[in-house]
Amino acid sequence: MTDFDTTKIASDLEKVVVAPVSSLIASDHKYDNGESIDLLWVPSIDDRLVNGKVIGYKVYRIEDGGEPQMIAELASGSNAYNDQSVERGKLYSYFVSALSSSAETPSTKTASIEPQKEWLNFKLINVLIIALVLGGAVIYFIETARRGKKLFVRKIAGLEAVDDAIGRATEMGRPILFIPGILDMDDVQTLAALTILGRVARMIADYDTKIFMPVSRSLVMTAARETIKASYQAAGRPDAYSDDAVTYVTDEQFGYVAAVDGIMVREKPATCFLLGAFFAESLILAETGNSVGAIQIAGTARPAQLPFFIAACDFTLIGEELFAASAYLSDEPKQLGSLKGQDVGKAIAMIAILIGVLTVTIGEVWNVGWIQSITTKLMEMFSTK
Amino acid sequence: MKRRIPLIITFLIGTILIFSFFIPPMKNLEQTSTLFFDVIAVFAFFLGGGNLLRVHINKLRRRRKDWGFSSVTLIGFFVTLAAGLFKIANPGGIAASPTTEGALLQEIFTYVLVPLQSTMYALLAFFVASASYRAFRAKNREATILLLAAFVILLGRTPFGMMLTSWMPDSLSVFQVPNLAIWVMNSPNLAGQRAIMIGIGLGVISMSLRLILGIERTYLGEEGA
């Protein structure tokens, strides 16, 4: 006669066993370097019922026929998981367990897959085409300008004022303050600021005006020194250059602001250039510059800071004008040609916006299906998702 | 050669970063180039620190104008450096992190740096008031429109704005001040911001191409090619 473990049977009877998940599919994640796998399943029937007993799911992975390892625990209602910790060239098998408050029911089948890499992200093909058109337009106009064709570039008030601002400082015998934003050399706004610095420094070297340039990044300090030094050399006055023109202060945002405000109040610059990436410090710097009576030329590609500069500075380079400044100041045909290329991008944007507004309006008012599909296609065309 | 090498590096890294956006196997190269920048930036930090010391020690030694500020900077620099380096007053000893509660470095951060930062940030409130006063003077048509828009938004964000127009029937709710404020923010304001963003995007593409193709060289201390 067999002895039954009555305690175990009672315990098993008390366990709440739920139905397993079904239709588990593992597929290679599209358009990546073979670094992730997508899992999809139909949730347990007990999860789909009102007041279902499923409290969650556990995802298990078997790597190259080894032992199963739990890799994720998901909430009830989940039906997908993206495993991003896989390596190319290995075979992975998966199963998913449905969890109740006291038991775990694994899926009846496992799903296996080996991750693959793709050579081109076809999801971004629309972006690639737009980038090629824009890049092609920029290069075309650079070449056109190189061949000697005259290109019209509209006047930018802020840049027209650069000469006058430097002249004012020279006449007043007061220094110029140049702030290249608070980000490092890997930010394109800082690079734009340094390209403008090159042009400004050339004039400063010609006029023998003093410049202060406190910076918040060491790399910017090094690059700015090189830029100013080259401008002095180009002006034939290398002896007038001093490393002291550019000083490192601190990486700390408000520490930097305190130092620059101090310099403004003590040195009373006649002209302040605030060009580059700015955050909350933009208005503090601009208002202090205003209070010491400096002419201020500011520019940033951060839309949130533009209103502050517009309110507190004499001239503001709005967004793209900051990037156009160097080309504009240089007056070199090749550089101006690149600005002309931007106009093609603007034309594309304007046409797309116009078509978008029309199709959305007509589609909504008259509920025309094919017009609504144009809107969808247009949105997909400019999407990176 | 001094200029050519940076130009080659700029071209290579710029091209890699563009291609890596479209070619998944190149993603790792993108991360590697970004890592290179971080490593260089760390080394450059010593240059920055060295420059800070040189400038302020010279100022102090030569008793130049406002040398007192330089002494404060130097004291702050060395005290903080020593607190972090030697883990002064660290409850966990030399093995524990210098940011442990009670450690001198952490105390400097909490009771000196943070209040000083907050003080500077707080100045913003006063500067917003003075800048607004100048910007919102109705001296021409544009400034008047700006003033009206600002008035509607400021009022719409206060309970008083709600109270002022709450009597309006539902059919006219669009003219209630809070709704007008939302409309100003979501329609004309957002449209303007997006226009600026499109311009910025195109400007970045053009600037990047000038840098990658070596047409723009001013940042290397050289006139354009």
Strands A37-42 and A80-83: antiparallel
Mean local confidence (pLDDT), A340-368: 91
Mean local confidence (pLDDT), B17-45: 87
A119 interaction partners in chain B (CB closer than 8 Å): 23-25
The owner of tokens 């007053």 is B89
Q: How far apart are CA A175 and CA A172, in angstroms?
A: 9
Give the length of chain A: 385
* Residue A45 sits at the chain B interface (C-beta within 8 Å): no
Query: Considering the domain boundaries, does residue B113 fall inside one?
Result: no
| Cα A264 versus chain centre, distance | 32
Pick the residue from chain A with its C-alpha nearest to B208: A188
Q: How far apart are CA B83 and CA A384, in angstroms?
A: 48
pLDDT in the model for residue A188: 92
pLDDT in the model for residue A10: 53
* Residue A222 sits at the chain B interface (C-beta within 8 Å): yes
Please say whether the beta carbons of B181 and B161 come within 8 A: yes
Query: Considering the domain boundaries, does residue B155 fall inside one?
Result: yes
Q: Which chain A residues in 114-143 lie under 8 Å from chain B, judged by CB atoms?
A: 117-121, 124, 127-128, 131, 134-135, 138-139, 142
CATH for A151-331 (3.90.1150, 2.60.40, 3.40.1000, 3.40.50): 3.40.50
- Cα–Cα distances (Å) from B77 to A244, B59, B84, B105, B171, in that order, read 20, 15, 11, 12, 64
pLDDT in the model for residue A7: 57
Q: Which chain A residues in 171-210 lie under 8 Å from chain B, judged by CB atoms?
A: 184-186, 188, 191-192, 194-195, 197-199
Task: List all residues 6 or more positions away from A221 whose beta carbon is below 8 Å from its beta carbon.
Answer: A215, A246, A247, A248, B44, B47, B48, B51
Query: Considering the domain boundaries, does residue B201 fall inside one?
Result: yes
Burial A123-150 (b: 16+ CB within 10 A, else e): ebeebeebeeebbebbeebbebbeeeee
In this complex, which of A258, A287, A319 lies closest to B131 when CB atoms are compared?
A287
| Contact across the interface for A338 and B220, Cβ inside 8 Å | no
pLDDT in the model for residue A14: 65
Span A16-113 CATH architecture: Sandwich (2.60)
pLDDT above 70: residue B225: no
Mean local confidence (pLDDT), B109-137: 91
A6 pLDDT band, cuts 50/70/90, is low
pLDDT in the model for residue B220: 75
Structure tokens belonging to residue A292? 């010491």
| Contact across the interface for A346 and B28, Cβ inside 8 Å | no
pLDDT in the model for residue B224: 46
Residue with the bigger pLDDT between B134 and A87: it is A87
User: How far apart are the CA of A323 and the nearest CA of chain B, in angstroms?
Assistant: 6
Query: Considering the domain boundaries, does residue B62 fall inside one?
Result: no
B116 interaction partners in chain A (CB closer than 8 Å): 254-255, 258
Lowest mean pLDDT across A235-239, A250-254, A270-274? A235-239
B146 pLDDT band, cuts 50/70/90, is confident
Query: Considering the domain boundaries, does residue B156 fall inside one?
Result: yes
Pick the residue from chain B with its C-alpha nearest to A131: B205
Query: Considering the domain boundaries, does residue B163 fall inside one?
Result: yes
Q: Comparing C-alpha atoms, which of A339, A330, A377, A335 is closest to residue A356?
A: A377
pLDDT above 70: residue B223: no
pTM above 0.90, yes or no: no
pLDDT above 80: residue B2: no
| Cα A231 versus chain centre, distance | 32
Lowest mean pLDDT across A127-136, A143-152, A257-266, B147-156? A143-152
Structure tokens belonging to residue B40? 């260089």
Structure tokens belonging to residue A96? 């998913």
The model's pLDDT over A59-114, given as tens digits with 9 standing for 90+, comes to 999 998 889 999 999 999 999 999 999 999 899 999 999 999 888 999 988 999 99
pLDDT in the model for residue A1: 43
pLDDT in the model for residue A2: 46
Burial class of residue B62 (count of CB atoms within 10 Å of its CB; 0-12, 13-18, 19+): exposed
- Cα–Cα distances (Å) from A197 to A59, A157, A227, in that order, read 56, 18, 7
**The dihedral sign for the CA sequence B66, B67, B68, B70:** positive
pLDDT above 70: residue A15: yes
pLDDT above 60: residue B94: yes
pLDDT in the model for residue A12: 59
pLDDT in the model for residue A33: 87
pLDDT above 70: residue A5: no
Number of domains in chain B: 1
| Contact across the interface for B117 and A252, Cβ inside 8 Å | yes
From first CA to last CA, the distance across chain A in angstroms is: 67
Task: List all residues 6 or more positions away from B197 whose beta carbon is below 8 Å from its beta carbon.
Answer: A303, A319
pLDDT in the model for residue A8: 57
Q: In what order do the strands lie in the sheet with A211-215?
A: A246-248, A211-215, A176-179, A271-275, A295-300, A315-318
Which of A248, A253, A296, A351 best tests the B interface by mutation, with the highest count of B CBs <10 A?
Answer: A248
pLDDT above 80: residue A242: yes
| Cα B29 versus chain centre, distance | 27
Average pLDDT, chain B: 89
Query: Considering the domain boundaries, does residue B26 fall inside one?
Result: no
pLDDT in the model for residue B177: 93
Q: For chain A, give the percent of residues with pLDDT over 70.
A: 96
User: How far apart are the CA of A61 and the nearest CA of chain B, in angstroms?
Assistant: 24
User: CATH 2.60.40.10 in chain A, residues?
Assistant: 16-113
Please say whether the beta carbons of A328 and A192 come within 8 A: no
How many helices and strands, by DSSP H and E, does chain A display? 12, 14
Q: Note down the domain range covering B144.
A: 137-225
User: How far apart are the CA of A211 and the nearest CA of chain B, in angstroms?
Assistant: 16
A244 interaction partners in chain B (CB closer than 8 Å): 55
Q: For chain A, give the percent of residues with pLDDT over 90.
A: 62
